[in-house]
C-alpha cells in the first residue's frame, strides 16, 4: 500500500508510506495480542471444566521474558509512530505560510493529530491490560480456590495447567503436592487402622493368678510400634500356669509393627504347644529367623512363666534388657539376666531357662523395653536406671497398676510425651 501510494499519488515513502506501514503493523500487533489473550481465556475456561492437563508443563516459557519483550516492542512502536508524526508535522509547518492568524489554527491541527494518535494507542494498551488482567484473575482465583479447599481438608480438586509460564508451573506443582497429600492421607489412614489393630493386640487386663498382681502398659513413639507385652493363659486342663511375654523389635514404623505382630503370634502359638519355656521360645525363634533372614531385623524377648502351684517362675531372657527385681525388705535390686541372643538371629539357637521363686509381697519385678531407660530429656539427659529404681522404691507398697502408672508418668514428664523417641513398654509383677 505504501508503494501504491508512492507511484500513484506521489506520497513520500519515508514519511507517509513508512508511517502507514508502522501504523498498520501496530494495529495488527495489538489485535494479535488481544486475540491471543482471548484464545488463552477460552483454553483456561475449557480446562477449568475438567478437560485440561494437570502435570507441570514440559516446556517452560518465562512470563517475565514474554512481558518484557511485548512491553519493549510496544514502547518502540509507540515511540517510532510519535516521532514520525512530530517530524511530519514539523516539515508540514515549515512549508506553510505562517501568519499570526494561521498559527493558532495550524497548532490546533497538529495538537488534534497528536491527541488522536496518542488516544488510539492508549485505548489499545488499556484494552490489552484489561484483557491480560482478566486471564490472570481467572488463573489466580482458581489457584486460590483449590488451595483454600486443600486447607479445609478437601483434596479432590486439582488446578488445570493451561499455560507454560510460571502460572503453569505453580499449578502443576500444586497438583503434585495435592497428590502427595492424598498419598500421605491414605498412609495416615492405614497407620491409624494399624494402630487400632495393634492396640487390640495388647491385653486389656491381666488374667487372675493366685498370689500375683500384674499390670502393664505400652506407648508408641510413632503411630505403630515394635514393642509388645502379652499375658498367655495355659489352655491345658488343670493347668494354672500363666506366661508373661515382653518383646522389643528393632527399628520403628510399619516394618517393626509387622514383625511384632508375627513375633507375638509365633510366641502365642508355641506357648500353647507342649514343651518347656526354652523349647517354646526356640520354636518361635526358628520360624521368625527364617522369615526375617537377610533383613537384619530381630526381636528381643523376656519370657516368664508363673506357676502359682509350685510358687516358682521360669524365664528365658533372649537378648532383652534385664528386668529388675526389687526387694523392699532389704532395699536391694537384682537383675533377671540371661545369656541368650535375640529372636530372629540364628534359627537353631538353644535357649536356656532361669528360675526363681514367685515374688513375695515385698518384691516387685519390672520388665520393660529400652525406651524407659533410654528416654531423653529436652536437655539431652538420659532417664537411666537410677530414676527407675527411685520410682520403684517410692511406690513398692502400692498395687502393680499404680507402680506402672507412676513409672509411665515420670518418664513422660522427664522426656515430654510429644518428643518420645522410642516405644515405652513395661510390665510390673508384684507379690501379694
Report which secondary-structure segment, H or E, holds 371.
helix 370-373
pLDDT at position 165 is 85
Give domain status of residue 7, yes or no: yes
Q: Which residues on adjacent β-strands are paired with residue 246?
A: 229, 302
The CATH number of residue 216's host domain is: 3.60.40.10
Give domain status of residue 198, yes or no: no
Are residues 167 and 265 part of one domain? no
pLDDT at position 4 is 78
In this prediction, the residues of the chain whose per-residue pLDDT falls under 50 are none
The model carries a pTM of 0.65
**What domain range is 349 assigned to?**
205-431
Residues making up the chain, counted from first to last:
432
Decide which of 151, 183, 215 is a domain's last residue: 183
Spatial CA neighbour of 365 closest among 338, 388, 340, 387: 388
Are residues 384 and 242 part of one domain? yes
Give domain status of residue 10, yes or no: yes
Are residues 72 and 36 part of one domain? yes
pLDDT at position 426 is 92
* Cβ count within 10 A of residue 28: 10
Are residues 242 and 169 part of one domain? no
Are residues 213 and 117 part of one domain? no
pLDDT at position 415 is 80
Are residues 98 and 35 part of one domain? yes
Are residues 422 and 277 part of one domain? yes
Give domain status of residue 52, yes or no: yes
Number of domains into which the chain is organized: 2
pLDDT at position 417 is 56
Are residues 236 and 147 part of one domain? no
Are residues 241 and 298 part of one domain? yes
pLDDT at position 1 is 77
**Cα–Cα dist 58/169, whole Å:** 9
Are residues 316 and 227 part of one domain? yes
pLDDT at position 101 is 65
Instruction: Say what angle helices 384-395 and 400-415 make with each other, to 10 degrees.
Output: 140
Cβ atoms of residues 163 and 40 within 8 Å: yes
Are residues 177 and 34 part of one domain? yes
Are residues 211 and 343 part of one domain? yes
pLDDT at position 420 is 56
Give domain status of residue 190, yes or no: no
Amino acid at each position: 500500500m505504501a508503494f501504491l501510494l508512492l507511484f500513484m499519488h506521489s506520497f513520500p515513502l519515508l514519511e507517509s508510506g513508512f508511517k502507514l506501514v508502522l501504523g498498520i503493523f501496530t494495529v495488527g500487533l495489538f489485535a494479535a495480542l488481544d486475540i491471543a489473550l482471548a484464545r488463552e481465556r477460552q483454553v483456561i475456561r475449557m480446562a477449568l471444566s475438567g478437560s485440561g492437563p494437570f502435570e507441570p508443563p514440559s516446556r517452560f516459557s518465562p512470563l517475565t521474558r514474554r512481558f518484557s519483550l511485548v512491553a519493549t516492542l510496544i514502547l518502540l512502536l509507540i515511540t517510532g509512530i510519535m516521532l514520525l508524526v512530530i517530524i511530519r508535522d514539523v516539515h508540514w509547518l515549515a512549508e506553510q505560510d505562517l501568519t499570526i492568524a494561521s498559527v493558532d489554527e495550524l497548532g490546533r491541527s497538529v495538537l488534534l493529530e497528536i491527541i488522536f494518535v496518542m488516544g488510539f494507542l492508549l485505548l489499545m494498551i488499556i484494552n490489552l491490560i484489561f484483557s491480560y488482567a482478566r486471564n490472570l484473575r481467572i488463573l489466580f482465583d482458581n489457584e486460590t480456590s483449590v488451595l483454600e479447599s486443600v486447607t479445609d481438608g478437601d483434596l479432590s480438586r486439582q488446578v488445570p495447567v493451561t499455560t507454560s509460564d510460571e502460572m503453569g508451573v505453580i499449578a502443576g506443582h500444586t497438583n503434585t503436592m495435592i497428590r502427595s497429600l492424598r498419598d500421605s492421607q491414605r498412609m495416615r489412614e492405614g497407620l491409624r487402622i494399624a494402630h487400632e489393630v495393634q492396640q487390640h493386640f495388647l491385653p486389656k487386663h491381666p488374667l487372675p493368678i493366685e498370689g500375683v498382681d500384674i499390670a502393664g502398659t505400652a506407648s508408641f513413639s510413632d503411630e505403630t510400634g515394635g514393642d509388645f507385652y502379652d499375658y498367655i493363659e495355659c489352655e491345658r486342663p488343670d493347668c494354672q500356669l500363666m506366661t508373661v511375654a515382653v518383646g522389643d523389635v528393632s527399628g520403628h514404623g510399619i516394618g517393626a509393627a509387622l514383625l511384632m505382630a508375627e513375633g507375638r503370634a509365633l510366641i502365642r502359638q508355641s506357648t500353647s504347644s507342649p514343651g518347656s519355656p526354652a523349647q517354646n521360645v526356640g520354636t518361635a525363634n526358628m520360624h521368625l529367623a527364617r522369615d526375617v533372614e537377610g533383613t537384619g531385623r530381630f526381636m528381643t524377648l523376656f519370657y516368664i512363666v508363673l506357676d502359682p502351684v509350685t510358687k516358682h517362675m521360669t524365664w528365658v531372657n533372649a537378648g532383652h534388657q534385664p528386668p529388675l527385681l526389687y526387694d523392699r525388705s532389704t532395699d536391694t535390686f537384682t537383675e533377671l539376666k540371661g545369656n541368650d541372643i535375640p529372636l530372629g538371629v540364628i534359627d537353631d539357637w538353644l535357649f536356656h531357662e532361669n528360675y526363681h521363686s514367685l515374688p513375695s509381697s515385698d518384691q516387685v519385678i519390672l520388665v520393660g523395653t529400652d525406651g524407659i531407660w533410654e528416654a531423653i530429656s529436652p536437655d539431652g539427659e538420659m532417664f537411666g536406671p537410677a530414676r527407675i529404681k527411685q520410682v520403684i522404691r517410692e511406690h513398692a507398697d502400692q498395687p502393680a497398676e499404680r507402680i506402672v502408672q507412676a513409672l509411665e508418668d515420670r518418664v513422660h514428664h522427664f522426656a515430654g510425651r510429644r518428643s518420645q523417641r522410642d516405644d515405652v513398654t513395661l510390665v510390673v509383677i508384684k507379690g501379694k
